[in-house]
Structure 1
Amino acid sequence: MSHIAVERNRRRQMNEHLQVLRSLTPCFYIKRGDQASIIGGVIEFIKELHQVLHSLESKKRRMSLSPSPAPSPRVPLQLISTPPSECNSLIRNTIHNENVKELGACCNSVAANVEAKISGSNVVLKTVSQRIPGQIVKIINVLETHFFEVLHLNISSMEDTVLYSFVIKIGLECQLSVEELAAEVQKSFCSDKV
């Protein structure tokens, strides 16, 4: 086989593999169709999946170390109530790119892990919890009540666990801090009304 044919075959395989990667990655991560953008988007997606995995592993460890018995998988999580005072809030200032600062807050409980981060003029909101029927509607109601507009929603699930990733726009009338937003979304996991 000539060098030209080998190179043509290698390029064809690379393009096929890039197409597979692009089809497996949510479009939100890939800004353009060039090879570098596809690979960069896949890297970001894999990093987010690693975060979800670490979150699930730490939740599993917490549940196994907990002195109280864990709820049965058949019991819906909205029956578990966690007062907002027990939420673990953590404020982080990190440098994103070179000059843009990100401010974030976490509010974790047995019902769900909630993380909100300000990124530029938007907020990235992520929740990891057991699958709860109607929970997405509750979260969107909380966001709309406090004048946030959902720009993008990505839902990923594995077995009985679901990750909701929102990109939301802050409305002019919004008065909540990031910590308060995380706590409000956390409360929605404990409420009984849809």
Structure 2
Amino acid sequence: MSHITVERNRRRQMNEHLKVLRSLTPCFYIKRGDQASIIGGAIEFIKEMQQLLHSLETKKKRKSLSPSPSPSSRPSVLQLTSPPPLASCSPFEAVKELSACCNSSVADVEAKISGSNVILKTLSKSIPGQVVRIISLLEREAFEILHLSISSMEDTVLYSFVIKIGLQCKLSVEELAFEVQQSFSQELLALTF
């Protein structure tokens, strides 16, 4: 085979693999159709799925250590943290992002400021109508929902929101995490009565 034919086959195969990769990655992660954006978006998606897996494994370990968590347990204290620098982001980007976590036996909630948006993630058992309650809360507090991604595994669901802070918004990232956590707690109390 000539060098030109080998190169043509390699490019065709690369394009086919990129098409498959793009079809397997949710469209939110891919900003443009070029190769770098497709690969970068797939990397971000894989990182989020790894975080979900780690979170589920941690929750499973916690559940096995305490077999009967009390449904009325209060959320843990809010923790304002800087996320650990990831291999793909510079230390400057890691310092710019602030996040707040509010975890309980009902749900884990994380709100993270990223640039001019907030990334809100909740991990909990599937509760009917919970996503509607979160959306209502966000709209009531003057947040604009730019994107919502729902991932589920067995009876666990991960809601990932990208939200824009509205001009009328008065909540801090810590208060947002706490309010979303409370929406889970209130629903659980309503279900038990």
Question: Equivalent residue for 1:110?
Answer: 105
CA distance in 1, matches of 2:165, 2:36: 31
Give 1:27 deviation, angstroms: 1.2
- Which has the larger displacement, 49-58 or 8-17? 8-17
The structure whose residues are more often helix, as a share, is 2
Structure 2 residue runs of 5 or longer lacking an equivalent are none
Structure 1 vs Structure 2 CA RMSD: 2.1
- Partner-residue secondary structure (3-state), 2:181: helix
Question: Equivalent residue for 1:76?
Answer: none
Give the letter for the 1:81 counterpart: S
Question: Equivalent residue for 1:147?
Answer: 142
Give 1:7 deviation, angstroms: 2.1
CA distance in 2, matches of 1:188, 1:81: 13
Question: Equivalent residue for 2:81?
Answer: 92
Pair 1:162 & 2:157 matched: yes
Structure 1 residue runs of 5 or longer lacking an equivalent are 72-79
Give 1:70 deviation, angstroms: 5.2
Residues 100, 110 of structure 2: 8 Å contact kept = yes
Pair 1:135 & 2:130 matched: yes
Give the letter for the 2:81 counterpart: R
Identity %: 69
TM-score norm. by structure 2 comes to 0.86
Relative contact order (C-alpha < 8 Å, sep 6+): which is higher?
1
Give the letter for the 1:90 counterpart: Q
* Residue correspondences, number: 183
Residues 153, 165 of structure 1: 8 Å contact kept = yes
CA distance in 1, matches of 2:69, 2:77: 19
Pair 1:82 & 2:73 matched: yes
- Which has the larger displacement, 158-167 or 86-95? 86-95
- Partner-residue secondary structure (3-state), 1:189: helix
CA distance in 2, matches of 1:128, 1:138: 15
Question: Equivalent residue for 1:29?
Answer: 29
